[in-house]
Amino acid sequence: MILNSSIMIGVRYVHSARGNHFSKLVSFASILGMALGLAVLLTIISIMNGFESEIRQRVLGLDGHIEIEIVGASKLERRKLIDLIKSSQAETEVWPAVSRDVLLQSGRSLLATEIRSYSAQMQSVQRDLLMFLKEGNTLTSSSQPFSIVIGSELAAQLGVGIADLVTVISPDPRVTSLGLSPRTKRFKVAGIFEVGMSSSDSRLAFIAEADAARFFRLDDMYDRLDVRLLDPAKASDFAKTIRGSTKYPVRDWTELHGGLFQALRTEKFLMFVLLAVAAVIALFNVVSILMVSVDEKKKDVKILFSMGLTPSSIVGVFLVQGVITGMMGVVLGVLLGYFLASNISEVVFFLENILQFKIFPPEIFYISEIPSVLLLSDFLIVTLAASFLSMLAPFYPALRVARRARVWRESL
């Protein structure tokens, strides 16, 4: 009965119209401050998740998740390794590839480039390359021999467009009557892609597998096997499995691009800490309003004592008031954060129309809208942490009430 009374009175104090306007303002500010802090925190985390997903898609869009160097491997060894990979992991895409560093020349421009073979086995890369295609066409079985698809920055630096010719210069020499000379071949530009990452757009090109075999004189030899999984997050574990079954060097995308994604995770963590500190500061307003409430309700406390409530019950009243005030901010913040994170593109579009400028110009950021990925784990962690702090915050004011309660009771 006493517990129910503490809860009822605490709830009443939250909605009470009594008290000065300053305490009401502080109470409203504490709820609003916590709500805005949590909403911004959840929104920024979701945007960071979206950017990480977008960058992963662009970085891995034209690469395998795992690379196995098979230089010098026979056709039989290559076939056994491909069968082993496919039997070890369901829904795995594997293809042999040629990857060579060459020079591309057009006029007086000469640029170092990584050139890769392109085949029908690269189904996921074909889809991604088609998505990133800016001009022209991808390579197909009907493409002209010695056609090439190059990155947009590479095309701009060479000053070439669709149907223009570029000279591919291989550092591997060929023997002629005049001695050693670099191997060269003119290729026609069939397509230009734009991934939005300088590492791909400025130094990556694709040629047909048959053209690569003829140009580099490979005789059914390849440089590596590229492996793509349905879930890129499993690449590290699967790479360890492959290492235990082959003598060839194996690298996964976390090793090839680990620095970039580690930097993104560090940035996300720092943003989380900074915004979490802002939310915690807002939580101190809950403590402030309770401290004010304790002094304001001195007469109320004496009346409650006269009605038979114990000091512990009085402490419970202020605990209930503080917890409800804090949880109102948490619930409002999570709902507002979910709304903003789910509709961030519309919110940004609305702000751009009002401010009359692009917040994220597509020509700079290579994105037409702000990406946002909502993760249940992020929302659960933030909600549980904020709820715990909201329940912890009222304890100091409540203990202050407990110390004063005995004095007030004796004064009756």
Kindly list the strands in the beta sheet with 93-97, ordered across the sheet, starting from the edge strand earlier in the chain: 93-97, 224-228, 66-69, 250-252
Question: CB 217: neighbour CB atoms within 10 A?
Answer: 11
Euclidean distance between CA atoms 78 and 86, whole angstroms: 12
- Average pLDDT score over residue span 118-131: 80
Cβ–Cβ under 8 Å, residues 307 and 11: no
Label residue 329 exposed, middle or buried (CB < 10 Å: 0-12, 13-18, 19+). buried
Q: Note the pLDDT of residue 155.
A: 92
- Distance between CA atoms of residues 230 and 16, nearest Å: 56
pLDDT greater than 60 at residue 18? no
| Residue 407 vs residue 312, higher pLDDT | 312
Q: How far apart are CA 79 and CA 89, in angstroms?
A: 16
Strands (E), 16-78: 66-69
Helix (H, G, I), strand (E, B) or coil at 112: strand
pTM value is 0.71
In angstroms, the CA 40 to CA 353 distance is 21
Tokens 């402490």 belong to 315
Which residue has better confidence, 129 or 359?
129
The pLDDT-based confidence of 17 (bands split at 50, 70, 90) is very low
- Cβ contact 145:95 at 8 Å: no
Within 10 angstroms of residue 108's Cβ, the number of other Cβ atoms is: 6
For the ranges 161-170, 288-297, 361-370, the one whose mean pLDDT is highest? 161-170
Per-residue confidence (pLDDT) for residue 302, from 0 to 100: 63
Whether 335 has a pLDDT exceeding 90, the answer reads yes
CA distance 346 to 334: 19
In this predicted structure, what is the pLDDT of residue 1? Answer: 44
* Helical packing angle, 21-60 and 376-392, nearest 10°: 160
Question: pLDDT band at 297, cuts 50/70/90?
Answer: low
Predicted confidence band of residue 140 (pLDDT cuts 50, 70, 90): confident
Please report the pLDDT score of residue 2 as a whole number. Answer: 46
Residue owning tokens 């034209």? 62
Query: 245 pLDDT exceeds 60?
Result: yes
